[in-house]
Amino acid sequence: MSTLSAAREIARAQAPSFSLGRTIALMAGSVVVGIETVMARAELARSRRQLAELDERLLRDIGLDRATARREADKGFWS
Protein backbone atom coordinates (compact mmCIF):
# COMPACT_ATOMS: atom_id res chain seq x y z
CA MET A 1 0.00 0.00 0.00
CA SER A 2 1.38 3.37 -0.96
CA THR A 3 1.66 6.29 1.42
CA LEU A 4 -1.08 8.13 -0.46
CA SER A 5 -3.44 5.15 -0.17
CA ALA A 6 -2.70 4.87 3.54
CA ALA A 7 -3.42 8.58 4.02
CA ARG A 8 -6.73 8.22 2.15
CA GLU A 9 -7.78 5.29 4.35
CA ILE A 10 -6.99 7.24 7.53
CA ALA A 11 -8.87 10.32 6.27
CA ARG A 12 -11.87 8.17 5.30
CA ALA A 13 -11.95 6.50 8.71
CA GLN A 14 -11.82 9.82 10.57
CA ALA A 15 -14.26 11.76 8.42
CA PRO A 16 -17.82 11.90 9.76
CA SER A 17 -20.30 10.01 7.66
CA PHE A 18 -23.33 12.03 6.59
CA SER A 19 -25.95 9.64 5.37
CA LEU A 20 -29.51 10.38 4.47
CA GLY A 21 -30.74 8.22 7.36
CA ARG A 22 -28.64 10.15 9.89
CA THR A 23 -29.82 13.47 8.49
CA ILE A 24 -33.46 12.41 8.70
CA ALA A 25 -32.95 11.15 12.26
CA LEU A 26 -31.40 14.48 13.31
CA MET A 27 -34.24 16.42 11.70
CA ALA A 28 -36.84 14.18 13.35
CA GLY A 29 -35.15 14.71 16.71
CA SER A 30 -35.31 18.48 16.22
CA VAL A 31 -39.01 18.28 15.35
CA VAL A 32 -39.69 16.21 18.48
CA VAL A 33 -37.86 18.73 20.68
CA GLY A 34 -39.84 21.55 19.07
CA ILE A 35 -43.15 19.79 19.67
CA GLU A 36 -42.21 19.07 23.29
CA THR A 37 -41.32 22.74 23.80
CA VAL A 38 -44.65 23.92 22.38
CA MET A 39 -46.54 21.38 24.52
CA ALA A 40 -44.71 22.49 27.68
CA ARG A 41 -45.49 26.15 26.90
CA ALA A 42 -49.15 25.32 26.29
CA GLU A 43 -49.32 23.54 29.66
CA LEU A 44 -47.72 26.56 31.36
CA ALA A 45 -50.22 28.89 29.70
CA ARG A 46 -53.09 26.65 30.88
CA SER A 47 -51.72 26.69 34.44
CA ARG A 48 -51.46 30.47 34.34
CA ARG A 49 -55.09 30.79 33.20
CA GLN A 50 -56.17 28.53 36.06
CA LEU A 51 -54.14 30.64 38.50
CA ALA A 52 -56.06 33.73 37.37
CA GLU A 53 -59.33 31.97 38.24
CA LEU A 54 -58.43 31.14 41.86
CA ASP A 55 -60.24 33.00 44.62
CA GLU A 56 -58.53 34.93 47.42
CA ARG A 57 -58.66 32.04 49.89
CA LEU A 58 -56.92 29.64 47.51
CA LEU A 59 -54.32 32.25 46.58
CA ARG A 60 -53.57 32.74 50.28
CA ASP A 61 -53.20 28.97 50.66
CA ILE A 62 -50.42 28.92 48.07
CA GLY A 63 -48.82 32.12 49.37
CA LEU A 64 -49.75 34.53 46.59
CA ASP A 65 -51.66 37.76 46.51
CA ARG A 66 -54.01 38.81 43.70
CA ALA A 67 -51.48 41.20 42.10
CA THR A 68 -48.77 38.53 41.87
CA ALA A 69 -51.22 36.00 40.46
CA ARG A 70 -52.45 38.55 37.90
CA ARG A 71 -48.88 39.39 36.81
CA GLU A 72 -48.12 35.70 36.33
CA ALA A 73 -51.39 35.05 34.50
CA ASP A 74 -50.78 38.00 32.14
CA LYS A 75 -47.46 36.60 30.89
CA GLY A 76 -47.48 35.57 27.24
CA PHE A 77 -47.25 32.10 25.79
CA TRP A 78 -43.46 32.36 25.24
CA SER A 79 -42.61 33.94 28.59
Annotate 27-48 with three-state secondary structure: HHHHHHHHHHHHHHHHHHHHHH
In three-state secondary structure terms, 7 is helix
What's the domain count of the chain?
Answer: 1
- For the segment 17-25, the average pLDDT, to the nearest whole number, is 80
Q: Give the model confidence (pLDDT) of 61-75 as tens digits.
A: 999 999 999 999 998
Query: Is 28 within a domain?
Result: no
Query: Is 48 within a domain?
Result: yes
Task: Round the average pLDDT of the chain to a whole number and report it.
Answer: 84
In this prediction the pTM is 0.62
Query: Is 1 within a domain?
Result: no
Query: Is 12 within a domain?
Result: no
Question: What is the band of 21 on the pLDDT scale with cuts at 50, 70, 90?
Answer: confident
Query: Is 78 within a domain?
Result: yes
Query: Is 57 within a domain?
Result: yes
Q: Positive or negative CA dihedral for 27, 28, 32, 33?
A: negative
Q: Give the model confidence (pLDDT) of 36-56 as tens digits.
A: 999 999 999 999 999 999 999
Query: Is 52 within a domain?
Result: yes
Structural domain of 44: 37-79
